[in-house]
Every structure is written in C-alpha cells, then in structure tokens.
C-alpha cells in the first residue's frame, strides 16, 4: 500500500438555503489561531488530550471546517486523508475520515452528505478510473447510521455477512489506522485515549435494529472502542446519498 498527500488547495462550498458553509484545506496550513478554534470545537465533543488531537491533525491530509454562513462562526469539523491501497491484486483509492463533528443546531441539514459528495467529486477529477472506498472507524452509533440510513452498499451490516474481499480491506485499513489496537477477532479497534463526551450520542430508549447491531458489534463503544466501517463510493451509493438528501429536502429536514 502506498500513501500520498492529496495536494488540494483550499476548496469551499456553500450548502444552499441552510446557512452553512464548508471548506477543505490542507492541515499543514492551519495557523495557531485556527488550531485553537478547531480544538475548541473538537474538545466539546471528545474527551482527550490536546496533544492527541494535534497528532491526529498532523496525520491527516485535510481538515474540513463548517462555518455559519451568517456570522462565520466555526460550528463543525472533520479530518480527511486520501491514499492509494491494494488488496487481493485489486488497487483502489481510500477516503479516510475521522473526528467529524457538527453542532446540533446544524444537523439534519444534509451538510455532511453534501461535503462528502463534493470531496468525492474532487477525488474523481484526479482519479477518474479508480475505485474509491470510504473508510472510518467509530464509537458513535450515529456515525454508523450515516451508512445504514443513506447508503445502499456498506459493511458491516446486519442483514448479510461482510464478503471476503471487503473483510480483507477492513483488516488492511483498520490495521493501518489502529495499529496494535486493532483486534481482528472482535472486529474493533481498542481505546486509544479518546471517547465521546457524555450526552453527545445518548442511546434511545428503544434502539432500532441498526443501532442494536452496532451495539452488538462494538460493546465497548462507551470506553472508546471503534468499529471499522467501509463502503464503496460508487455510482450506486452516490445516487443513494443524493436521492435521500433530495427526499429530505428543505432547509431544516
């Protein structure tokens, strides 16, 4: 597996009619003031040390920032790395995300979906013939629901076992992200000094089947154990994301 920095300059977009803007920028260009602002948002969602946050930022290629369109206030963020990988003689590109967080007032507005589609479009411009996969690992059931609520094809999932090739890719990428904390037997990455703050993702009284599946696969989520997730960013999934965003419609759906 080889790795390369994305090389993108600043890229910006506005989510129409909902008062939310997003921008991608190289992590290497963050000033001290910008780092302080990112830490302020990040630490309101996650319990961890600032040194661990800055190390995660250094490992990432790009930072995604959400700003209120009216007053410019930073209201969310995420980290992104892109690289080439190969498994079973099949090469592919990886969009790996982490630390995605958005203040509650701006959720349900398709901002995460639109930012993802925008970044996938940029990746397609650079690598038009490559298969592209989205990888992330999470201790939040809400992140997992981004897959089950919006995508046609993803893993792991409750209604069918993960195919052999995809299991191998998850193992490859989880080992890269988690190192010795990756446990192939349990399918989770052990705690590494970071977890959600209380109240960020409280479980509903009656979890639906997808949430129950996440809890069964990742019983240590509250302590910071992470479930690796994978999905192909193919035409089928891109269409599913776009269709669900259109169906939600409106500025507050």
Q: Which residue, among 24, 53, 229, 63, has the nearest Cα to 146 in the 3D structure?
A: 229
pLDDT, tens digit, 9 for 90 and up, residues 37-86: 999 999 999 999 999 999 999 999 999 999 998 899 999 999 999 999 99
How many CA atoms lie within 13 Å of 172's alpha carbon, on the beta-carbon side? 22
What is the residue-averaged pLDDT of the chain? 89
Distance CA 193, CA 212 (A): 25
pLDDT of residue 11: 62
Confidence label for 6 from pLDDT (cuts 50, 70 and 90): very low
Other beta carbons within 10 angstroms of residue 115's beta carbon come to 26
Residue 55 token pair = 């190390």
Distance between the two ends of the chain, CA-based, in angstroms? 40
Q: What is the 3-state secondary structure (H, E, C) of the chain?
A: CEECCCCCCCEEEEECCCCEEEEEEEHHHCCHHHHHHHHHHHHCCEECCHHHHHHHHHHCCEEEEEEECCCCCEEEEEEEEEEEEEECCEEEEEEEEEEEEECHHHCCCCHHHHHHHHHHHHHHHHCCCCCEEEEEEECCHHHHHHHHHHCCCCECECCECCCHHHHHHHHHHHHHHHHHHEECCCCEECCCCCEECCCCCCCCCCCCHHHHHHHHHCCCHHHCCEEEEEEECCHHHHHHHHHHHHHHCCCCC
pLDDT of residue 234: 93
**pLDDT above 80 for 110:** no
Q: Which residue pairs from 153-157 have beta carbons closer than 8 angstroms and sit at least 24 positions apart in sequence?
A: 153/231, 153/232, 153/234, 153/236, 153/237, 154/229, 154/230, 154/231, 154/237, 155/229, 155/230, 155/231, 156/187, 156/213, 156/217, 156/227, 156/229, 157/213
Q: Which residue, among 223, 8, 203, has the nearest Cα to 125 in the 3D structure?
A: 8
Q: What is the mean predicted confidence (pLDDT) over 20-25? A: 93
**pLDDT above 80 for 153:** yes
Rounded to two decimals, the pTM is: 0.89
């Amino acid at each position: 597996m080889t790795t390369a920095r994305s090389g993108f300059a600043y890229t910006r977009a506005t989510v129409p009619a909902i008062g939310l803007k997003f921008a991608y920028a190289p992590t290497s260009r963050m000033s001290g003031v910008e780092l302080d602002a990112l830490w302020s948002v990040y630490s309101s969602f996650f319990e961890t040390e600032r040194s661990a946050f800055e190390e995660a930022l250094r490992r990432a290629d790009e930072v995604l920032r959400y700003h209120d369109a009216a007053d410019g206030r930073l209201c969310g963020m995420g980290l992104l790395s892109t690289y080439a990988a190969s498994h079973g003689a099949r090469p592919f590109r990886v969009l790996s995300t982490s630390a995605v967080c958005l203040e509650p007032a701006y959720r349900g507005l398709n901002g995460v979906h639109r930012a993802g589609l925008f970044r996938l479009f940029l990746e397609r411009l650079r690598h038009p013939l490559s298969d592209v996969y989205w990888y992330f690992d999470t201790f939040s059931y809400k992140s997992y629901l981004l897959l089950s609520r919006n995508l046609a094809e993803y893993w792991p999932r409750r209604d069918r076992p993960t195919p052999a090739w995809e299991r191998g890719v998850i193992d490859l990428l989880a080992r890269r992200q988690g190192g010795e904390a990756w446990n192939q037997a349990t399918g989770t990455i052990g705690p590494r000094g970071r977890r959600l703050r209380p109240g960020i993702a409280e479980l509903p009284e009656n979890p639906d089947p997808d949430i129950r599946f996440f809890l069964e696969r990742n019983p240590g989520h509250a302590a910071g154990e992470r479930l690796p997730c994978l999905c192909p960013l193919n035409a089928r999934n891109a269409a599913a994301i776009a269709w669900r965003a259109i169906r939600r419609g409106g500025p507050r759906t």
